[in-house]
Chain A
Amino acid sequence: MNERKIYPTYFAGGALLLYIVFYVIPGIMGICYSFTDWSVYSSEINFVGFDNFIKAFSSDYNYTKYLTNTLEFTIITTVLKNLLGLVLALILTKRVRLLNFHRAVMYIPSVLSALIVGMIFRSILNPKVGLLNVGLRAIGLDSLALPWLTDSKIAFNSVMAVDIWKGMGYIMTIFIAGIMSVSPVYFEAADIDGANAWQRFRYILLPMLSPTIAVTTVLNVIYGLKVFDMVYSLTNGGPGFATEVLYTGVYKEFGLGRYAMGTTLSSIMFIFMLLIGYFMIKLLTRNEEALA
């Protein structure tokens, strides 16, 4: 049969058109614009070479802080979400009562808008009347009742903690599916050989879960590098520049009308993602290769 006739390529046209117009063209245009001085202040656009990129990596500006914060956010949330997600999944694959209730509850924060979660936690983390500090004081831990979002030393940690609170249920759900797909035969064999709980986990479950861990890591990294919502609604980059990440930086430059700088920061991410994105996608689609 003639496959080209039955499965006409134009079927993909609509999606390709939208994708190219709103995704690919802005990406490429953005790279071009990052070599200019495009801004709201002048209708003229001049070529300035690598000036913007030099600025982005120069120590005279705060932009390097945006980049290092983004990387820090990505690494820490990825590790902790994986770790906590795995622990939650291990607990919720035991014979716990109301198992489905617990699983559903853990997942709920993932379906809420980050903007709203941020607003809720701005109340909870309020230094004076916030639920967290009131609770800490009530059990006598006054010294731990810190100004979570307003102290520049701990604000970024608070942002990451809230993001982990919101996202760990999602990772847990993936791990639960991963754990359930491991055949119980392996554990039975291990039991016969006298393996203890730790050995069963370390030598059977963990190796069997490694493809799942790879996927959750990819998902967390993609999310972490692009994070904006959570930071925007919790601290909007403040206090000072303490919690500024790349995308809040882009939005700020956009707001100030410094379009060229905004698009430069975006392009740095674009190029970085282009380099690692291919490998991440290969990893996500590896099952399909086997099916083809």
Chain B
Amino acid sequence: MKSKKNLGMVGVNALAWLLSLLLLAPLVLILFNSVKTSQAASDMSLQLPLDGLHFENYLVVIEKGKLGITFLNSLLYSCGSVILCMILSAMTAYVLSRNRSRLHRFLYMFIVLGITMPINFVALMKVMQLTQLQNTRIGMILLYSAIQLPFNVFLIYSFVSKIPKDIDEAAVIDGCQPVRLFFSVMFPLLKPVLVTVMVLTFLNTWNEFVLPLYFLGSSTFWPMNLAVYNFFGMYATNWNLVCADIVLTCLPVVLVYLLGQKYIVAGMTAGAVKG
């Protein structure tokens, strides 16, 4: 009986490893090939880079792929929408959760419905033209924030309802005004959920490329992943360079993921599990 159980555990462990390798193999493939010569990388095999580590690929790619400027663009879009999303969705979720009048309940449903609604990119182009935001960095930040507001409001809303209202009342009795009540009392209390919002918004913005695809004609405003895709089109025969470019584009995402893993899981599972 016991040995049967042990055998079962070995099987489960082996299975877990097999699955992990299945998920890691493609990533290792990219990592290996990013330090090979162009010729050695041409067949994109999982072979170890035996003829030395060609880290100069990375330097070539940074220069040819214009990674400097696109990295700064991505960073600007991600940080810009993180700040805007955090403040706007926290303020919205806070008032809509605290005062559940008919109007507020309607507004909440109205915003959260945006989680499911598709964006009409073609008509959005018209709006971007009318507001003169097409082909601008500020337009991109506003768009990225707008598309992520519904989910972030949803996330913060349920968190606010778990914070006792007594705190607000005590602050008001002490003479706190609404703006100060929110920024000095509420905002610090929302820290755990705001970190989740921060991490998720950063990752989503970094990975998103459909908005720039539609609304950024000029490549000087491109984020990193659109540039890597374009690079892929131009240097399709130099897989080593393409791989190096991919590694550099994914690096910030993987770093943020490893640092913020706890918060990502908290956000992803919010609402999915009865808590």
Chain A positions 36 through 55: 1 when the CB is less than 8 Å from some CB of chain B, otherwise 0 = 00000000000000000000
Q: Which residues of A contact B121 (CB under 8 A)?
A: 26, 250-251, 254, 262, 266
Contact pick for B26, options A15, A120, A269, A291, CB 8 Å: A120
A291-B271 contact given A30-B122, A91-B15, A266-B122, CB 8 Å threshold: no
What mask results when residues 107 to 137 of chain B are scored 1 for a CB within 8 Å of chain A, else 0?
Answer: 1010111111111111111110001000000
Q: With A22-B142, A129-B44 in contact, is A16–B111 under 8 Å at CB?
A: yes
Residue of B12, B95, B126 touching A96 (CB-CB under 8 A): B12
B111 touches A123 (CB 8 A): no
Stretch at the interface among A75-83, A168-176, A184-192: A168-176
Interface string of B142-172 (1 = CB under 8 A from A): 1101110110011001100110000011001
Instruction: Say yes or no: is B48 at the interface (Cβ < 8 Å to chain A).
Output: no
Residues of B within 8 A of A8 (CB): 95, 178
How far does the Cβ of A109 sit from chain B's closest Cβ, in whole Å?
A: 6
Determine the chain B residues whose CB is within 8 A of the CB of A6 once the complex forms. Answer: 98-99, 168, 172, 178, 181
B274–A181 touching, CB < 8 Å: yes
Name the A residues within 8 Å of B95 (CB-CB). 7-9, 11-12
Minimum distance in angstroms from A111 CB to a CB of chain B: 5
CB distance from A35 to the nearest CB of B (A): 13
B273 with A177: CB separation less than 8 A: yes
Instruction: Let me know if B94 and A7 touch, CB within 8 A.
Output: yes
How long is the Cα–Cα vector from A95 to B10 in the complex, in angstroms? 10
Q: Separation in Å of the A236 CB from the closest CB of chain B?
A: 11
Q: Beyond A4-B99, A211-B274, A259-B122, is A222–B116 a contact (Cβ under 8 Å)?
A: yes
Residues of chain B contacted by A33 (CB below 8 angstroms) = 122-123, 126
Complex contact B45–A134 (CB within 8 A): yes
- A230 vs chain B, min Cβ distance (A): 12
Taken residue by residue from 232 to 263, chain B's Cβ proximity to chain A (1 for < 8 Å, 0 otherwise) reads as 10000001001000100110011011100100
B23 near A105 (CB under 8 angstroms)? yes
Q: Does A121 contact B (CB under 8 A)?
A: yes
User: Across the interface, do A11 and B16 meet the contact criterion of CB distance under 8 Å?
Assistant: no
B48 CB → nearest A CB, Å: 14
Please provide the chain B residues from 163 to 219 with a CB less than 8 Å away from any CB of chain A in the complex.
Answer: 168-169, 172, 178, 181-182, 203, 206-210, 213-214
25 chain-A/chain-B pairs, Cβ below 8 angstroms: A6-B178, A7-B99, A9-B104, A11-B94, A14-B88, A15-B153, A26-B123, A27-B119, A27-B120, A30-B120, A102-B16, A111-B256, A119-B242, A120-B27, A123-B29, A123-B239, A170-B268, A177-B265, A211-B273, A273-B116, A277-B116, A284-B154, A284-B271, A285-B271, A288-B158
